[in-house]
């Protein structure tokens, strides 16, 4: 349903170095991924690795520098503005901060009804019933539809944002850390809501998160990003049972264990230093400057994603 091929998103900084060179930020540097109907892909990685930039480019909020983005065999990168507007019913996005993503001057009814009105999903006479149905679907009382966003809690605002996103019946939903600003109990409610919506509406979803425990709970497959590239991807059970890339191993080692005895005795993989700058990425494997298993070949050769034991991994150490 979704096919991303060799996607690159580079930003040119409007300042020159002393050598006359204009720096370029390689936020996303050659990402390829696929997603089937009804499938949930968990996208994980450190802050600054390019997850949100990738997500915004897929929904055409950021134009890609190179590569293709195909939704239902339609290449979004080739569409004209009017064609892209029509295609937006196929994909929608949920942002991290529900309060910032909702217009404070619009009531809940106006916020949810607007996309249906713009895209002609239903007539003006049908809007009231359609908004009531959507609010019930996401666990909100329809009698609150004439209130404003500031009158709701964080979890309720995120439910409003979800209702607005699914109002046009998209086939693809991209959720950019939708529960990171919520309390733990509310997180569970929103996660279960998203899972049930994907199942009931046959909707695919890319779920971006820093919380690997959440990703393990919700995702069918996992893709791990580092410095603008996918370094490992595969079924969730396989990734968590036997991570292949040293970076994935380090991420999983940071997940706390509920048993205090196990937590006290287990070893953590602590990465040295900070992630390299996307302006000046290192030669060879982008992770070699922090990898505890680095070999000389890693410093000169860029590893490609290749299949290994049901997953795909970009690491020269995996044989």
pLDDT for residue 17 = 64
Residue 90 pLDDT > 70, yes or no?
Answer: yes
Q: Where are the domains of the chain?
A: 2-242
Query: How many C-beta atoms lie closer than 10 Å to residue 8's C-beta?
Result: 16
What's the predicted TM-score (pTM) here? 0.92
Tens of pLDDT, residue by residue over 29-64, are 999 999 999 999 999 999 889 999 999 999 999 999
Encoded tokens for 106:
């619009």
Which uninterrupted H or E stretch holds 234?
strand 229-235
C-alpha 8/C-alpha 268 separation (Å) is 33
What letter would DSSP give residue 121? S
User: 191, 218 in Cβ contact below 8 A?
Assistant: yes
Residue 19 pLDDT > 70, yes or no?
Answer: no
Residue 16 pLDDT > 70, yes or no?
Answer: no
Give Cα 138 to chain centroid, integer Å: 21
Tens of pLDDT, residue by residue over 297-311, are 999 999 999 999 889
Give Cα 56 to chain centroid, integer Å: 9
Fold of 2-242: Rossmann fold (3.40.50)
**What is the residue-averaged pLDDT of the chain?**
91
User: 92, 170 in Cβ contact below 8 A?
Assistant: yes
Encoded tokens for 230:
């996918």
- pLDDT tier for residue 129 given thresholds of 50, 70 and 90: very high
pLDDT for residue 158 = 93
C-alpha 63/C-alpha 280 separation (Å) is 22
What letter would DSSP give residue 213? H
Tens of pLDDT, residue by residue over 152-176, are 998 999 999 999 999 999 999 999 9
User: 171, 139 in Cβ contact below 8 A?
Assistant: no
C-alpha 204/C-alpha 181 separation (Å) is 23
Tens of pLDDT, residue by residue over 199-227, are 999 999 999 998 888 899 999 999 999 99
């Amino acid at each position: 349903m979704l096919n991303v091929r060799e996607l690159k998103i580079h930003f040119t900084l409007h300042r020159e170095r002393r050598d006359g060179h204009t720096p370029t930020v390689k936020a996303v540097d050659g990402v390829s991924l696929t997603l089937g109907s009804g499938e949930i892909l968990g996208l994980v990685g450190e802050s600054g690795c390019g997850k949100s930039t990738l997500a915004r480019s897929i929904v055409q909020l950021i134009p890609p520098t190179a590569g293709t983005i195909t939704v239902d065999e339609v290449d979004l990168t080739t569409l004209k503005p009017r064609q892209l507007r029509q295609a937006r019913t196929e994909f929608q996005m949920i942002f991290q901060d529900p309060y910032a993503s909702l217009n404070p001057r619009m009531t809940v009814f106006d916020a949810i009804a607007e996309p249906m009105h713009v895209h002609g999903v239903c007539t003006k006479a049908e809007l009231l019933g359609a908004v009531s149905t959507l609010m019930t679907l996401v666990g909100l009382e329809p009698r609150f539809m004439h209130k404003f966003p500031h009158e709701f809690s964080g979890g309720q605002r995120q439910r409003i944002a979800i209702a607005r996103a699914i109002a046009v019946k998209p086939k693809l939903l991209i959720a950019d850390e939708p529960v990171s600003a919520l309390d733990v109990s509310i997180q569970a409610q929103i996660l279960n809501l998203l899972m049930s919506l994907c199942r009931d509406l046959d909707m695919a979803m890319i779920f971006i998160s820093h919380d690997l425990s959440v990703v393990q709970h919700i995702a069918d497959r996992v893709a791990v990003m580092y410095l603008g590239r996918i370094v490992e991807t595969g079924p969730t059970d396989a990734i968590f049972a036997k991570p292949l890339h040293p970076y994935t191993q380090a991420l999983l080692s940071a997940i706390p264990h509920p048993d205090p005895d196990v937590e006290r005795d287990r070893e953590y993989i602590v990465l040295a230093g900070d992630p390299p700058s996307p302006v000046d990425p290192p030669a060879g494997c982008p992770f070699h400057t922090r990898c505890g298993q680095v070999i000389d070949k890693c410093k000169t050769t860029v590893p490609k994603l290749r299949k290994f034991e049901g997953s795909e991994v970009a690491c020269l150490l995996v044989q």
